[in-house]
């Protein structure tokens, strides 16, 4: 029945909730047994294993994407520091593009676009590829800074010793650049862990995806997401401690300079 279609002059038709047009939707807060809902984290205990599966998937995705982005970052950093102008410009265009377009747009571009051109890969692979490409842009900046920080004297010494350009690069420049850029690469990794939560939008059930399922199962979104927030913060905190230790270990012979 349409609104206002009642009989003219007669009494208004009885209210029928199934028939009435929806005017406003109010979110009814969930309360169990009518009691005030209090913060009760124990309801999450049965779901811990389920969440841990998601955390494992997040770790896998991030580990693979870290490897991918460091490899890509090294190639792009080499290209950006090369003496060939056009290679440098191309590499800069890549970095500029992937740093200035939101990750979710890149992700949808790959996830919906690749099947169009006949490449059928699952959400996991798409996620790793997208994270690697986007992370590679950031990693290349970190590695490039490491390369540019190398003292010219070292390069001259290598040249005088008769090392070829390739050997100088792989045996001298890259090891030094990589170990001085451990810290910035670490912040790339932390960013990647945070960004990987976006993969839940392409049906990849990593930590955030699993938490979404738990939230809709238990009707306790507040508890679930508060815990998730703290878990992510703790995770990135632990990673940053690990990176500091690694940085100190790799640069232990330069202690007075790096400290």
Q: Are 119 and 180 in contact (CB under 8 A)?
A: no
How many chain residues interact with other proteins (CB under 8 A)?
A: 46
CB 137 to other proteins: min, Å? 12
Rounded Cα gap, residues 226 and 232, in angstroms:
10
CB 123 to other proteins: min, Å? 15
CB 143 to other proteins: min, Å? 19
Q: Are 104 and 197 in contact (CB under 8 A)?
A: no
CB 160 to other proteins: min, Å? 36
**Is 84 a residue that touches other proteins (CB under 8 A)?**
no
**Is 122 a residue that touches other proteins (CB under 8 A)?**
no
One of 35, 85, 116, 257 touching other proteins (CB under 8 A): 116
Q: Are 112 and 119 in contact (CB under 8 A)?
A: no
Rounded Cα gap, residues 206 and 124, in angstroms:
10
**Is 151 a residue that touches other proteins (CB under 8 A)?**
no
Q: Among residues 20 and 31, whose Cβ is nearest to other proteins?
A: 31
Residue whose token pair is 């290349």:
140
CB 11 to other proteins: min, Å? 33
One of 63, 112, 159, 254 touching other proteins (CB under 8 A): 112
CB 158 to other proteins: min, Å? 35
Q: Are 45 and 196 in contact (CB under 8 A)?
A: no
One of 169, 212, 251, 258 touching other proteins (CB under 8 A): 212
**Is 221 a residue that touches other proteins (CB under 8 A)?**
yes
**Is 52 a residue that touches other proteins (CB under 8 A)?**
no
CB 91 to other proteins: min, Å? 17
Coil, strand or helix at 177: helix
* Helices (H), ranges, the chain: 48-81, 85-100, 103-113, 123-148, 152-160, 165-167, 174-180, 182-195, 207-218, 221-250, 255-258
Rounded Cα gap, residues 109 and 88, in angstroms:
25
How many CB atoms are closer than 10 A to CB 109?
A: 12
Rounded Cα gap, residues 10 and 6, in angstroms:
8
Binding-residue pattern over the window 160 to 199 for other proteins, x denoting contact by CB under 8 A: ------------------------------x---xx-xx-
One of 73, 95, 133, 232 touching other proteins (CB under 8 A): 232
**Is 132 a residue that touches other proteins (CB under 8 A)?**
no
178-198 in b/e burial notation, b at 16+ Cβ within 10 A? bbbbbbbbbebbbebbebbbb
Nearby residues of 80 by Cβ (< 8 Å), 6 or more positions away: 88, 91, 92, 95, 140, 144
Query: Residues in the site for other proteins, rule: CB under 8 A?
Result: 26-27, 29-31, 37, 39, 97, 100-106, 108-109, 112-113, 116, 190, 194-195, 197-198, 200-201, 208, 211-212, 215, 219-226, 228-230, 232-233, 236-237
């Amino acid at each position: 029945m349409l609104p206002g279609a009642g009989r003219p002059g007669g009494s208004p038709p009885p209210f029928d909730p199934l028939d009435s047009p929806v005017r406003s939707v109010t979110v009814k807060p969930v309360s169990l047994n009518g009691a005030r809902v209090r913060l009760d984290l124990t309801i999450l205990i049965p779901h811990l294993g389920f969440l841990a599966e998601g955390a494992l998937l997040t770790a896998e995705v991030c580990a693979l994407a870290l490897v991918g982005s460091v490899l890509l970052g090294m190639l792009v950093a080499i290209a950006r520091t090369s003496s060939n102008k056009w290679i440098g410009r191309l590499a800069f265009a890549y970095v500029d593009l992937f740093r200035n377009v939101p990750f979710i747009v890149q992700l949808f571009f790959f996830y919906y676009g690749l099947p169009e051109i006949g490449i059928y890969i699952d959400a996991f692979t798409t996620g790793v590829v997208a994270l690697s490409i986007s992370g590679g842009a950031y990693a290349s900046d970190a590695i490039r800074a490491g390369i540019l920080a190398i003292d010219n004297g070292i390069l001259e010494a290598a040249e005088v010793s008769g090392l070829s350009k390739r050997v100088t690069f792989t045996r001298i420049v890259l090891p030094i650049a990589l170990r001085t850029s451990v810290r910035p690469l670490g912040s790339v990794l932390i960013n990647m862990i945070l960004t990987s939560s976006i993969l839940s939008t392409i049906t990849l059930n990593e930590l955030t995806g699993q938490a979404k399922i738990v939230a809709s199962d238990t009707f306790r979104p507040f508890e679930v997401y508060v815990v998730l927030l703290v878990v992510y913060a703790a995770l990135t905190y632990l990673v940053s401690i690990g990176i500091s230790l690694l940085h100190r270990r790799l640069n232990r012979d330069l202690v007075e300079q790096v400290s």
